[in-house]
Amino acid sequence: MDRCFSVISFITRLFNTAVCFARSGLWVIVFCTFFTGNTTAESLTDGPVVGAVTDTSAKVFVRVSGPGAVYLEYSTDPNLRFAMQSDVVYPRYRDDFTAIIPIDGLLPNRTYYYQVIVDGQPTLSSLSSFISFPPDHVNTEFSFAALADVGNSKSRGAPSYARLAIDEPRFLLQIGDWDHRDPQTLDEMRLMHREVRGQGMSSGRYFRDFIANTTPLYYVWDDHDYGMNDGDYTFPGKADAIKAYREYFPTPELPNPEAGIWQSFRYAQVEIFMLDVRSNRDPNTDTDDENKSMLNGENIENGQKEWLFSGLANSTAKWKIITSGVTFNPTTKPADAWGAFTTEWQEVVDFITANNIRNVLVLSGDLHSGGAFDDGTNAGVPEMSVPHSNMNMNDDHPTGITTHTPGTWTSGYIRGPENPGYVLVTVETNPDRLILEVKGVSGDIRMTETLESND
Ligand SMILES: [Fe+2]
C-alpha cells in the first residue's frame, strides 16, 4: 500500500512539475536553445495597462519584442508571496506582438500586485498594481475620472494625468480623440496607440508615468483616433482601426467585436455605457430623418442602438452614465455632433423618458472647451462636457473653443485655450448623488455640479 502510494505521489509530482514547466514558459527557452542555439529572451516593449476589471477578474495588455512566452504573477502580497499565475500567452507577429492576458480568482476590493514574466524573466523593475472592483450589489462611495481630447504634439504634455492621479480615481475613462493624427494604416494606428501611452510622446509620458500602472483604463475613440476627420462607417480603414484597438486595449467583452467597439461595464451602483460614435455612423451629410443614425447606420444585427436601449432598460445600477465622443447637446457643433442627428437624439431621449430610466448622465468630449454643463434643458438629459487635456493652448478662437457653435449650456461653458483639465466624478451614498467637478491641471476646481438621485 505504501509503495503504491509513493508511486502515485511520484507520478503526481512529475505531472505538477511538467505543468509548472509548461506554464512558466521555460520550455520555450529550452526549445529555442536546443534547436537554434539562441538564448536571448524577448523583452517587454509596451505596457502593462490594466482594464476590464471586475470583482473577480481583470485583463492586462502587454507588448513584447518578439515571439516568446508571457504570463503574469499576481498576488495581494506586495512581495508576490503566494502568487497566482495567469495562463501563458504567445504574442504573434500578426498581432504586433501584443497580448491581452486575462487573470481571475480575485477577491473584491483588494489591491493586487503583479509582475510580467517574459521568457521566464521578470520584466518590471517595480511591481504594478490595481484595485479589484466591488461586487455589483454594493452601494459605495468612490471617484472616477474622465478625459478627452489630447493633442498629438510631441512637445505638448498632458499634465492632467499627473494631477488626476492625486485624486486616486478607481478607473479612468478616456472618451475620445486621445490623439488627433487621423491614422490611415494599421501600422500608423498601432504607433498612435503606443505613443499616446508613453512611447516618445510628451502627452503619453504622463499617462505612462502616473496612470497606466495603477488605474484601470476604459477607452473608446472619436474621429481623430478612429482615423477619419468627422468620420463614419465609410472609413476605408475601419477594419484596421478595430483590429489595432483590440490588440492594444484590455476591454470588457465587446458586444459585437467585429463591427465596433461600444462596450459597458459596472462599478458597484454605477453602470457605464461607452458609445462608439464613429464606426457605425451614417455620413454627417445625410438627411436628418429616422433613417440617419450615429449608432447603427448600416442597420446591422446585434447593433449598437439595440444594445444601448436594452442595456439602459435592463440595468440594475442606480446610475447609468453614457459616454459620447461628441457632444450630446444638439445646440452645439451641429455639423458633426448629435446636432446632426437630432431625430435619433430625440429617439434616445424619448426612450429614456418613456421607460422611466432614472439617474442618467452623459459625459461627452470634442468641445475642446474648459468644461461645460447642461442640466438636461438643452441636452435632453444632464450632460457634462469634459474639457480638453492640452489642446489649442495658443488658439484664441472667438468662442474660446474650436467651433463657432459652442451651443447653449445651462451652466455655460468655460473657455478652452487656457483651461485644460479633466472631470472628476464622486459617487456619494448618503444621500445618493453625483458630484461632478471640472478640474484644472493644478487641481483647481472650475465648475461643480450635483446630481441628486431621482429614486
Ligand atoms: Fe478633438
Q: Around ion ligand 1, which residues have CB less than 5 A away?
A: 149, 177
Q: Per residue in 320-372, pLDDT tens?
A: 999 999 999 999 999 999 999 999 999 999 999 999 999 999 999 999 999 99
Whole-number Å distance, alpha carbon 264 to ligand 1 midpoint, is 22
Distance CA 367, CA 287 (A): 23
Rounded to 5°, angle at Cα 263 from 184 and 90:
65
Whole-number Å distance, alpha carbon 225 to ligand 1 midpoint, is 9
Whole-number Å distance, alpha carbon 335 to ligand 1 midpoint, is 14
pLDDT of residue 33: 44
Whole-number Å distance, alpha carbon 211 to ligand 1 midpoint, is 21
Q: Which of 448, 367, 447, 444 is nearest to 159 (CA)?
A: 444
pLDDT of residue 11: 52
pLDDT of residue 313: 98
Whole-number Å distance, alpha carbon 71 to ligand 1 midpoint, is 36
Whole-number Å distance, alpha carbon 178 to ligand 1 midpoint, is 8
pLDDT of residue 156: 84
Distance CA 97, CA 90 (A): 8
Domain spans of the chain, in order of start = 44-131, 142-452
User: How is residue 258 written as a grid cell?
Assistant: 467585429
Whole-number Å distance, alpha carbon 155 to ligand 1 midpoint, is 18
Whole-number Å distance, alpha carbon 153 to ligand 1 midpoint, is 13
Q: Which of 330, 392, 402 is nearest to 366 (CA)?
A: 402
Whole-number Å distance, alpha carbon 95 to ligand 1 midpoint, is 28
For the domain made up of 142-452, the CATH class stated in words is: alpha beta
Distance CA 41, CA 32 (A): 10
Whole-number Å distance, alpha carbon 363 to ligand 1 midpoint, is 14
pLDDT of residue 231: 98
Whole-number Å distance, alpha carbon 443 to ligand 1 midpoint, is 22
Rounded to 5°, angle at Cα 261 from 61 and 256:
110
Whole-number Å distance, alpha carbon 346 to ligand 1 midpoint, is 24
Q: How far apart are the first and last CA of the chain?
A: 67
Whole-number Å distance, alpha carbon 215 to ligand 1 midpoint, is 23
Whole-number Å distance, alpha carbon 371 to ligand 1 midpoint, is 13
151 Cβ contact partners less than 8 Å away, ≥ 6 residues apart = 158, 179, 180, 203, 388, 389, 390, 391, 392
Distance CA 352, CA 346 (A): 10
Distance CA 210, CA 455 (A): 37
Q: Residue-wise pLDDT tens for the chain (455 aa)?
A: 344 444 444 454 454 445 444 544 444 444 444 444 445 789 999 999 999 999 999 999 999 999 999 999 999 999 999 999 999 999 999 999 999 999 999 999 999 999 999 999 999 999 999 999 999 999 999 999 999 999 887 788 899 999 999 999 999 999 999 999 999 999 999 999 999 998 888 888 899 989 988 899 999 999 999 999 999 999 999 999 999 999 999 999 999 999 999 999 999 999 999 999 999 999 999 999 999 999 999 999 999 999 999 999 999 999 999 999 999 999 999 999 999 999 999 999 999 999 999 999 999 999 999 999 999 999 999 999 999 999 876 666 889 998 999 999 999 999 999 999 999 999 999 999 999 999 999 999 999 999 999 98
Whole-number Å distance, alpha carbon 151 to ligand 1 midpoint, is 8
pLDDT of residue 40: 75
Q: Considering Cα of 100, then 190, then 129, then 161, what sign does the dihedral take?
A: negative
Whole-number Å distance, alpha carbon 150 to ligand 1 midpoint, is 7
Whole-number Å distance, alpha carbon 430 to ligand 1 midpoint, is 36
For the domain made up of 44-131, the CATH class stated in words is: mainly beta
Whole-number Å distance, alpha carbon 149 to ligand 1 midpoint, is 5
User: How is residue 345 written as a grid cell?
Assistant: 437624439
Distance CA 264, CA 14 (A): 44
Q: Let me know if 1 is exposed, middle or buried by CB neighbors in 10 A (0-12, 13-18, 19+).
A: exposed
Whole-number Å distance, alpha carbon 318 to ligand 1 midpoint, is 30
